[in-house]
Amino acid sequence: MGATQTLSAPFDLRLLQAALNLPRIAVEPLDPRVTRRAEAARQFYRAVFVPDRPITPVLVENGTDLVERAIRESGIRDWIRAVRAFDDATHQHCLLVAGLAAAFAARLGLGPAERYRLTRAALLHDVGKIHVPSAILNKPGKLDPGEMALVRLHPEQGEAMLAGQGFPPEVLAVVRSHHEMLDGSGYPDGLSGAAIPDLVRLVTVCDIYGALIERRPYKPPMAAERACAILKDMTGRLDPVLVDAFLSVATALTPRIPHAA
């Protein structure tokens, strides 16, 4: 059709600006502290969350502390920008959701113990994905039914990894049930209503929102406003009280420039 140049997704904002000859949009520099914390958290995740290695509460303390400290020092905006630069989808997602959970807990006014409990559960929620081949997790396109079936095993696999290692029941519940929906349409157990604990419901909201706004091999980050609209449209599947509370602070939790790296 006469195109003179092409750009491949996910799009880099600076390259797009240059290609269109647009004025450069100033992006605030990242706080170096959050960059260091995010990289340390990624190295922690890479070293600790590996197949056939026992994961204990003591090991997980370090990663939880890294996330909480980064949110306290620099806020969620810089954390999201730093984590979005990671090329591994699982590392990016788990650290992003843990940061969102820590920030959301602080906005809700939860005490230190409750914030830590929520951040730890969010950090561990997708641990079962270490058993899913990276070629599937990082596939730049739609998964076929067989690949999707493998991915859907991760909640049970994650719970099995952590069972008997000293984690409290509420953490195991988050790992197993974060894809359950209030209307019973989720997996792996088809739980509904009161059978889904509050901590699971809270992590699920952060999990879905994080998946929408993060960069994936097959999509660029979604704008915060659109992600909020999708959460709102999930009435009946997500806890409406938690969704309303999350939406009331979501614009403060996310970067103003969706594609900033």
Dihedral sign computed on CA atoms, order 88, 222, 16, 26: negative
Report helix, strand or coil for 188: coil
DSSP E strands, the chain: none
> What are 170's two structure tokens?
């509420």
Q: What is the CATH number of domain 31-253?
A: 1.10.3210.10
Q: Give the global pTM.
A: 0.85
Q: What per-residue confidence (pLDDT) applies to 31?
A: 81
Are 67 and 99 in contact, with CB atoms under 8 Å apart?
yes
Are 124 and 162 in contact, with CB atoms under 8 Å apart?
yes
Are 80 and 254 in contact, with CB atoms under 8 Å apart?
yes
DSSP H or E run through 231 = helix 224-233
Q: Per residue in 198-213, pLDDT tens? A: 999 999 999 999 999 9
Average pLDDT on 15-26 reads: 54
Average pLDDT on 134-138 reads: 88
> Does residue 47 have a pLDDT over 50?
yes
Residue 188 to residue 156: CA distance in whole angstroms: 7
User: What count of other Cβ atoms lies within 10 Å of the Cβ of residue 245?
Assistant: 16
> What are 44's two structure tokens?
């922690």
Percentage of the chain beyond pLDDT 70 is: 85
Q: Per residue in 216-248, pLDDT tens? A: 878 888 988 899 999 999 989 999 999 999 987
CA angle 12/67/249 to nearest 5° reads 70
Query: Domain residue spans in the chain?
Result: 31-253
